[in-house]
């Protein structure tokens, strides 16, 4: 799977952190800020390169680049640039913290981040969370959610999903268990769904879904929509979608962030900045397939000014 993935933001070659740092200093010195120059540099470097630029800036000028960017930029452009300057696990940890500690919990953000990452990603995020907030992510989730959703989120934060190949006899068994826990009985046993959806490898789940269809005559996502509602439904569907086509899931989330009245800028920024180095090439293909227009065009119609310019640069537009 993973070797097909590719980002729209690639390492800059040749890369010279010293001259990048100098160009950024120049863009911020004196009257007015040269936002275009800042975008041209930072949206065309990968995160590890941006970390080197931060280092070089401090060495050369004795100043903190992130602090300087903060004081020179404002609004949505500032939000995007600060996201880009943060190592990804730290950024996602801060988004989780915001989703938990804001007024009311943003369950959708928790599910989007925790149900879509590999074990390795989850471990990095939980470590970053602990380091940044001196709290255990699992404890904060337990304190902030309840019922089946809490169980699913706690399962996700263990980063304990099997990553091995499918086991055909076990897949048949799992499919039957899902059928019996849902459609095949009165009331739904969410703990069986949780156990299978949270712990089996994606390769194995793929087979479970095929076997399920043979038994039930409908898909697992259909059963989830029929048997569950609210956040737990969204959670199980997120896992199902990621297993079937992760890029299409992120394309749908991007569309959702721009749909209707007003843009959900926080989600749009998170989706673009957290996927642009991973699989944005595929996400764009799926977006156009699903929604009939290029992602760049959708972003351009929905945003303005430097905010638009930086997002379009990140998703690989001109």
- Per-residue tens of pLDDT for the chain, all 318 residues: 344 579 999 999 999 999 999 999 999 987 789 999 999 999 999 999 999 999 999 999 999 999 999 999 999 999 999 999 999 999 999 999 999 987 777 899 999 999 999 999 999 999 999 999 999 999 999 999 999 999 999 999 999 999 999 999 999 999 999 998 887 665 668 889 999 999 999 999 999 999 999 999 999 999 999 989 999 999 999 999 999 999 999 999 999 999 877 789 999 999 999 999 999 999 999 999 999 999 999 999 999 999 999 999 999 864
Most distant pair of Cα atoms in the chain: their distance: 71
Q: Nearest CA to 204 among 220, 225, 223?
A: 220
Cα 6 from chain centroid (whole Å): 15
Rg (CA), the chain: 21
SS (H, E, C) 42-94: HCCCCHHHHHHHHHHHHHHHCCCHHHHHHHHCCHHHHHHHHHHHCCHHHHHHH
pTM of the full structure = 0.92
DSSP 2: G
Distances (CA, A) of 119 to 16, 45, 210, 225: 33, 26, 24, 26
Give residue for tokens 């996201």. 83
Q: Can you tell me whether residue 14 is helix, strand or coil?
A: coil
Torsion of CA 289, 290, 296, 300, to 10 degrees: 150
Label residue 198 exposed, middle or buried (CB < 10 Å: 0-12, 13-18, 19+): buried
DSSP 248: H
Residue 148: CB partners within 8 Å, gap ≥ 6? 190, 191, 194, 228, 232
What span, in angstroms and rounded, lies between the C-alpha atoms of 293 and 284?
Answer: 10
Cα 297 from chain centroid (whole Å): 21
What is the per-residue pLDDT for 2? 44
What span, in angstroms and rounded, lies between the C-alpha atoms of 159 and 26?
Answer: 43
Q: Nearest CA to 152 among 212, 238, 91, 81?
A: 238
The token duo for 313 is 């640069």
What is the per-residue pLDDT for 62? 97
Label residue 81 exposed, middle or buried (CB < 10 Å: 0-12, 13-18, 19+): buried
Give residue for tokens 């919990």. 105
What is the per-residue pLDDT for 184? 66
Alpha helices in 117-229 (DSSP H): 119-133, 137-144, 147-157, 168-181, 190-199, 202-216, 220-227
């Amino acid at each position: 799977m993973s070797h097909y993935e590719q980002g729209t933001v690639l390492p800059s070659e040749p890369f010279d952190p010293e001259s990048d740092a100098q160009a950024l200093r120049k863009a911020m010195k004196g009257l007015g800020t040269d936002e275009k120059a800042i975008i041209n540099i930072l949206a065309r470097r990968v995160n590890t390169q941006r970390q080197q630029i931060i280092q070089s800036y401090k060495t050369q000028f004795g100043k903190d680049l992130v602090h300087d960017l903060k004081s020179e930029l404002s609004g949505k452009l500032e939000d995007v640039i600060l996201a880009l300057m943060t190592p990804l696990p730290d950024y996602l940890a801060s988004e989780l913290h915001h989703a938990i500690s804001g007024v009311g919990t943003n369950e959708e953000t928790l599910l989007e981040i925790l149900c879509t990452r590999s074990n390795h990603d989850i471990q990095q995020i939980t470590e970053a969370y602990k380091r940044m907030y001196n709290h255990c992510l699992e404890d904060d989730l337990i304190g902030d959610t309840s019922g089946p959703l809490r169980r699913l989120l706690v399962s996700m934060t263990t980063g304990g999903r099997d990553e091995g190949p499918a086991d055909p006899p076990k897949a048949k068994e799992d499919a039957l268990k899902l059928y019996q826990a849902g459609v095949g009985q009165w009331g739904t046993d969410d703990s069986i769904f949780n156990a299978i959806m949270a712990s089996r490898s994606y390769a194995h789940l793929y087979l479970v879904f095929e076997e399920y269809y043979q038994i039930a005559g409908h898909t697992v996502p259909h059963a989830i929509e029929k048997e569950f509602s609210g956040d737990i439904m969204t959670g199980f569907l997120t896992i199902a979608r990621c297993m079937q086509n992760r890029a299409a899931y992120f394309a749908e989330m991007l569309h959702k962030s721009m749909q209707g009245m007003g843009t959900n800028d926080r989600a749009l920024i998170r989706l673009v900045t957290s996927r642009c180095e991973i699989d944005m090439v595929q996400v764009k293909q799926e977006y156009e397939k699903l929604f009939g227009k290029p992602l760049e065009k959708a972003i351009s119609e929905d945003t303005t000014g430097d905010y638009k310019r930086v997002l379009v640069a990140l998703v690989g537009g001109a």
